[in-house]
Structure 1
Amino acid sequence: MIRASRLAPLFAVFALGSVHADEVQVAVAANFTAPIQAIAADFEKDTGHTLVAAYGATGQFYTQIRNGAPFQVFLSADDSTVQKLEAEGETVKGSRFTYAVGTLALWSAKEGYVDANGDVLKRNAFRHLSIANPKAAPYGLAATQVLAREGLTDKVKAKIVEGQNITQAYQFVSTGNAELGFVALSQIYKDGKVSSGSAWIVPSSMHDPIKQDAVILNKGKDSAAAKALMDYLKGPKAAAVIKSYGYEL
């Protein structure tokens, strides 16, 4: 069952699974949408708890959490935002851990458009390049680091179209509004291969590590479902799903 929640109108919000006695409200980085949806069904079946997820940009979730949003668990797209919340007293001490390490990809919906080494960037023959907002989305920040490393920042500046989060950056490319863009590999990858279009999987050495941390927020301190979710994300079933979407653990 999918039902609407009243959380954060800026984001798509879904409840996954049937209603049970205990729910956990989770803020999920947009890049992790598909994996958490896949994990949620097993989580409910195995634990009896329901996962209620809101998807969006990590930076925007930080602001919402600081302003009292009712999230109990935060699955961030980086580690620094969670560390900041921890330092500010917004999290349950000792609950933070890295649940995935993300991979950046340069992707086009067109077959054969992006070569295996990303040379399409250097040729600079495209009209639009999509990236996520680097101030709010860690994958967007990683994209800017790649462009800087390649000496392309000024050359492509006028061609960049910026999505509010990594989902919107992906949508610009998938709809043809941008010929190519930097996305999370998890958005285009399943079971060991790129599922559509063409892509360059960016070497991790070209940008800061995208360590994605999870943490129980203060509102989840006494929630059995919140603790159960954190334990579940560390288990073998969740690990298999996370790996299948191109993440490292």
Structure 2
Amino acid sequence: MKTLFRVLALSLALAGAASAARADEVSVAVAANFTAPMQRIAADFEKATGHKARLVFGSTGKFYAQIKSGAPFQVLLAADDETPARLAREGDGVAGSQFTYAIGRLVLWSPRPGLVDDKGEVLRAGRFEHLAIANPKLAPYGLAATETLKALGVADALQGKLVTGESITQAQQFVVSGSAELGFIAFAQIHRDGKLIDGSHWLVPARLHTPIRQDAVVLDKGKGSAAAAALMDYLKSPAALAVIRTYGYER
């Protein structure tokens, strides 16, 4: 009997060692707007697969420059679809690995109840000192914000009131801190556990800007990585999709 127990213990130990050997880590560059959902997805991914996702958050434009300079990212979750496609064309992304993991929505938000109306007329009235946006050259949500202002015909009138953040996260921080009374951010950023946070907002109609298709791509440094492949598969799973929708994204 003792011999049997020793055999069983050894088998379990070997199985555990084999599982640990198969587990791996993947380095992921994540668009700032996707911070909260990706943190949840990464935790669920580790529980489901044993692989760990090491996350770095920032602007898609900055990530592109870092990847071109040799940054050791293995997967990019961009805030647009052009950057992953460009990286694939230039040989820094794995051809055929790109797919849309989320479609983002732009929102005009203020922590002050009643400041932002549900039609965005506050922009035409202009009764505020500062409007925060992300840098349109670095962040697709910033570009969508400038396209919205142009579509509404208020871009020139509000130019002097713009406060520009490096990323959508910094744009939100400007609003939260009071540096700007309101700002264009990602709809996901005003969600907490499936519920809207306090304040007032206008969900910008998708027709006012270029669709915010957010694509993922395996980068050259992630080629052949079991963890990278597993993460890409997990992002397509019903479990990940449920989290993505909880934060106001579509897919």
Length-normalised TM-score, structure 2: 0.90
One-letter amino acid matched to 1:129: L
Distance 1:40 1:80 in 2: 24
* Partner residue of 2:244 out of 229, 242, 245: 242
Give 1:13's aligned residue. Answer: none
Shift of 1:194: 2.2
Bigger mean CA deviation after superposition, 111-120 or 128-137? 111-120
> 1:21 Cα shift?
4.1
Q: Distance in 2 between matches of 1:196 and 1:101?
A: 24
Q: 2:84 is matched with which residue?
A: 82
2-side partners of 1:41 and 1:141: how far apart? 31
> Over residues 39-82 of structure 1, what are the superposed CA-to-partner deviations in whole Å (9 max), with x where a residue is unaligned?
11110000000010000000000000000000000000000111
Corresponding letter in the other structure for 1:85 = L
The corresponding residue for 1:15 is none
Specify the alignment match of 1:53 in structure 2: 55
CA distance in 1, matches of 2:168, 2:57: 10
Q: What is the distance in 1 between the residues matched to 2:36 and 2:59?
A: 15
Q: Which residue of 1 aligns with 2:13?
A: none
Indicate whether 1:220 and 2:248 are aligned.
no
Among 120, 129, 132, the residue aligned to 1:130:
132
Q: Which amino acid aligns with 2:25?
A: E
- Does the aligned pair in 2 maintain the 1:190–1:246 contact within 8 Å? no
Match of 2:201 among 199, 223, 244: 199
Deviations 1:103-142 (A, max 9, x none): 0000001111111111111100100000000000000000
Q: Which has the larger radius of gyration?
A: 2
Q: Write the mapping of 1:1-249 to structure 2, written as runs, cut at 5 A.
A: 21-190=23-192, 193-249=195-251
How many Å apart are 1:193 and its aligned residue?
A: 4.2
Q: Secondary structure at the match of 2:163?
A: strand
> Matched residues in 1 for 2:241 and 2:250: separation?
9
Residue 9 of structure 2: aligned partner: none
Q: Is 2:23–2:227's contact at 8 Å kept on the other side of the alignment?
A: no
How many angstroms apart in 2 are the aligned matches of 1:193 and 1:43? 23
Provide the residue aligned with 1:5 in structure 2: none
Unaligned runs of 5+ in 2: 1-21
Task: State the Cα distance separating 1:190 from its structure 2 match.
Answer: 3.8
Percent same amino acid among aligned pairs? 61
Is the CA contact (8 Å cut-off) linking 2:26 and 2:74 kept in structure 1?
yes
- Whole-angstrom CA distance in 2 between matches of 1:73 and 1:63: 15
| Structure with a larger share of its residues in helix | 2
CA contact (8 A) 1:109 1:176 kept: no
Code of the aligned partner of 2:128: F
